[in-house]
Structure 1
């Protein structure tokens, strides 16, 4: 995983953090389910819910990025690089 030094203000930061806290709780719940030898199908349902929730966080962040960072780059004549970066992220997300 590579990190860049670019930073931005997340317009929906608190919503994203709240969702992630909820997901964190779900992951802890799955951990307990496994420790308590719960039925595999029940655990798999919870894992599916976690994956769905993470997809929603990803899409929300992607939407914010597109509406703010990409639009700003396009207006600032750096649109091609921003679009290439966006497409790279999309390819990674759909693997």
Structure 2
């Protein structure tokens, strides 16, 4: 087994995902209860948004801590390039 790959943001990301998991379980319950589709769609949207935000946080963390270090650059041009990549990654 390899060493764990943890960053300081991973606990917050895990917390977000656990919250999304709880919301998803609630949506399943709502479906089984026969709740209106509008309510279901609204809750599913919230789950999807929570997962998307967790993914974005993970990608940004990777950019900051892995790619930047790998490039061994800490100058302003590296910081600018990393900032631009973070901005464009929101469209992934």
TM-score in terms of structure 1 length: 0.71
* Cα RMSD (Å): 2.5
Which structure has more RCO (C-alpha within 8 Å, separation ≥ 6)? Answer: 2
**Displacement of 1:7:** 5.7
Task: Give the aligned length.
Answer: 77
Q: Note the 1:7-86 alignment, pairs <5 A.
A: 8-75=5-72
Q: Provide closer, same or farther for how the CA distance between residues 50 and 34 of structure 1 changes in structure 2, counting only shifts above 3 A.
A: same
Unpaired stretches in structure 1, ≥5 consecutive residues: 77-85
Moved over 4 A (4+): none
**Displacement of 1:16:** 0.9
Unpaired stretches in structure 2, ≥5 consecutive residues: 74-84
**Displacement of 1:8:** 2.5
TM-score in terms of structure 2 length: 0.73
